Amino acid sequence: MKIVFVGAGRLATNLGRALMEAGHDIVQVYSRTQESAGAMAQIVGASPATSIAAVRKDADVYILALKDSVLADIIPQLCKGSEAVFLHTSGSVPMEVFQGMALHYGVLYPLQTFSKERAVDFADVPFFLEASGERAMRVAEELAQSVSNNVSRLSSADRKQIHLAAVFACNFTNHCYSMAADILGKHGLPFSHLLPLIDETAQKVHTMSPREAQTGPAVRYDENIIRAHGEMLRDNPFVKDIYDRMSMNIHRTSQGNL
Amino acid sequence: MKIVFVGAGRLATNLGRALMEAGHDIVQVYSRTQESAGAMAQIVGASPATSIAAVRKDADVYILALKDSVLADIIPQLCKGSEAVFLHTSGSVPMEVFQGMALHYGVLYPLQTFSKERAVDFADVPFFLEASGERAMRVAEELAQSVSNNVSRLSSADRKQIHLAAVFACNFTNHCYSMAADILGKHGLPFSHLLPLIDETAQKVHTMSPREAQTGPAVRYDENIIRAHGEMLRDNPFVKDIYDRMSMNIHRTSQGNL
């Protein structure tokens, strides 16, 4: 199976590396810039391409790992008249983006956060698949199962919900780490002090629900502490605002309100 | 060294168990209710007490693991005229709460999130110590070092900052998990789908700063996705509000603004 990657960002680079290590043949990597196409092409042992016209027509699968806003532009240029399988990797774009453009298409969505500097171990990464028909599903399954033990099928509608949940569980969580790091940094205290706490907070929700695991002054709405924290954050109204709303919502939901 | 625990909550129960397992002699556990005093007393092999008058006077150390609001009430009743060492475990109460009340006193602050159902491994838990003098510091160090390899001294002012940072890194992070769990639950999707993502999000900040690790639609403020997510959250204005403010602050700080 000859694979072309369209897109060479963080997700593409990590997924491409994992597929290559699983023995797949990645023949080409497209990206708008030579720097980006070349960097990933080198990692996965492929040739780079920097225009859609230069993308090979003879591959079996095209994996479109692009920004959502770019997908709809690229698809007509890439898919028209092709017999190949086209898969995108986005959490929030419905499969129907391919409709009328490609014959065999689907979605291969790995639920993980990717950075170029860090190689992700894919074994436990959940892959959510969707396909226009059997042939595309077979290809998506073969690819996903070659790198992960956690592969399932999911509709576009549910995938959108998972993507939204992931924004909270990953992006907003990381921003909480970031605000914590800023507070410590301002007082010359190392962020590493927080790592055992961050790890235990993540570990706890493996064995209890997040609601049961909730601790801290907001649960019982301890006004003395919350007022003192507000005072400590007075030079950063954006962060104080987030503090207040998070505390209120923790308290509200601790009372059993959804 | 005879130890009395004043307070039998989550922190007390976990710290008491760890100290007992390290070979310390916990002789008594005070709590207002028999149920709570009895439960922890049984775990740590001590006698329960439910009134301050019944607390033994002959211990060497009293560990006050109480709500902040209760500390100031209990200290005068407990410490007056005693030669023992008194340590509280609060992140946000200054050591001076003991001033004029006890002769030897200090703070033993373990930075961790505790639940009664889950025994914490203390080996990596950072302990932050503060003491009125050498005798109290010696006792605090002996206790902390017997359960943890991560013990340091810290002023009340810096401890307050660490406690505030911990509210973000632990309590608010867990609330992000909780909001994610609610979104999935409403659509019949299991929270366990998110665990590999949650783990990787925590692992990433061991090797890069949270700001470098930040991903997601808010970084580049992808308006299409953010608007669609707002629409999906329209039945929960509290959570939508948190979504908007977190996204704005992620974008703002990604631009290099503090």
Q: What is the DSSP string of A40-75?
A: HHHHHT-EEE-SGGGS-S--SEEEE---HHHHHHHH
Tokens 């017997």 correspond to what residue? B146
Assess contact for A49 and A78: CB atoms under 8 A. no
**Substitution target from B129, B177, B250 for chain A, most A beta carbons within 10 A:** B177
What's the confidence (pLDDT) of residue A160? 97
Q: Which of A168, A177, A224 sits opposite B169 (nearest CB)?
A: A177
Does the pLDDT of residue A17 top 80, yes or no? yes
Question: What is the distance in angstroms between the Cα of B191 and the nearest Cα belonging to chain A?
Answer: 9
Question: Per the CB < 8 Å rule, is B208 touching A115?
Answer: yes
Averaged over A208-216, what is the pLDDT? 95
pLDDT at A95: 97
pLDDT band at residue B42, thresholds of 50, 70 and 90? very high
3-class SS at A149? coil
Model pTM greater than 0.90?
A: yes
Contacts of A116 in chain B (CB under 8 A): none
Average pLDDT over residues A29-41: 97
pLDDT band, residue B118 (cuts 50/70/90): confident
Q: In chain A, which residue's Cα lies nearest the Cα of B169?
A: A177
Q: What is the pLDDT of residue B258?
A: 57
Residue A133 has pLDDT above 90, yes or no: yes
Average pLDDT over residues A234-238: 96
CA atoms of B153 and B141, how far apart (whole Å): 9
Question: How would you write chain B as a 3-class SS string?
Answer: CEEEEECCCHHHHHHHHHHHHCCCEEEEEECCCHHHHHHHHHHHCCEEECCHHHCCCCCCEEEECCCHHHHHHHHHHHHCCCCCEEEECCCCCCHHHHCCCCCEEEEEEECCCCECCECCCHHHCCEEEEECCHHHHHHHHHHHHHHCCCEEECCHHHHHHHHHHHHHHHHHHHHHHHHHHHHHHHCCCCHHHHHHHHHHHHHHHHHCCHHHHCCCCCCCCCHHHHHHHHHHCCCCHHHHHHHHHHHHHHHHHHCCCC
Cβ neighbours for A253, distance < 8 A, ≥ 6 positions apart: A211, B175, B178
A258 has a pLDDT exceeding 70? no
Count of pairs with CB atoms under 8 A, one residue in A, one in B: 309
Distance CA A122, CA A118 (A): 12
Cβ-based neighbours of B96, under 8 Å, separated by 6 or more: B156
Please judge whether B195 and A178 are an interchain contact, meaning their C-beta atoms are less than 8 angstroms apart. Answer: no
pLDDT higher than 80, residue A148: yes
* pLDDT at residue B257 is higher than 80: no
* pLDDT greater than 90 at residue A257: no
**A173 falls in which pLDDT band (50, 70, 90)?**
very high
Res B255: pLDDT: 83
CB atoms within 10 A of CB A232: 17
What is the model's pLDDT at position A54? 97
**Complex ipTM:** 0.95
Measured between beta carbons, the chain A residues lying within 8 angstroms of B172 are 176, 242-243, 246, 250
Question: Mean per-residue pLDDT for B18-25?
Answer: 98
Position A117 scores a pLDDT of 83
What's residue B256's pLDDT? Answer: 75
In degrees, rounded to 5, the angle at the alpha carbon of residue B147 between the alpha carbons of residues B146 and B153 is 80
User: Kind and range of the H or E element at A96?
Assistant: none
Residues contacting A7, CB < 8 A, separation 6+ = A30, A31, A63, A64, A65, A66
**3-state SS assignment for residue A127:** strand
The pLDDT-based confidence of B167 (bands split at 50, 70, 90) is very high
- For B46-79, b/e burial (b = at least 16 CB within 10 A) is bebbbeeeebeeebebbbbbbbbeebeebbeebb
pLDDT in tens, A48-81: 999 999 999 999 999 999 998 899 999 999 999 9
Best to test chain A binding among B118, B127, B163, B175 (most A CBs inside 10 Å): B175
Would you say residue B20 has pLDDT above 80? Answer: yes
Backbone φ and ψ for B228, nearest 5 degrees, come out as -65, -40
Q: Which of B164, B184, B249 sits opposite A229 (nearest CB)?
A: B164
Confidence of residue B5 (pLDDT cuts 50, 70, 90): very high
The whole-number pLDDT of residue B58 equals: 97
Average pLDDT over residues A217-244: 95
| Mean of all residue pLDDT scores within chain A | 96
* Residue % of chain A over a pLDDT of 70: 99
For residues B247 and A38, give the distance between their C-alpha atoms in angstroms, rounded to a whole number: 32
Please name the member of B170, B215, B228 whose beta carbon is closest to the beta carbon of A216. Answer: B170
Mean pLDDT computed over every residue of chain B: 96
Mean pLDDT of A177-204: 97
State the nearest Cα–Cα gap between A205 and chain B, in angstroms. 8
Q: Place A256 in a pLDDT band, splitting at 50, 70 and 90.
A: confident
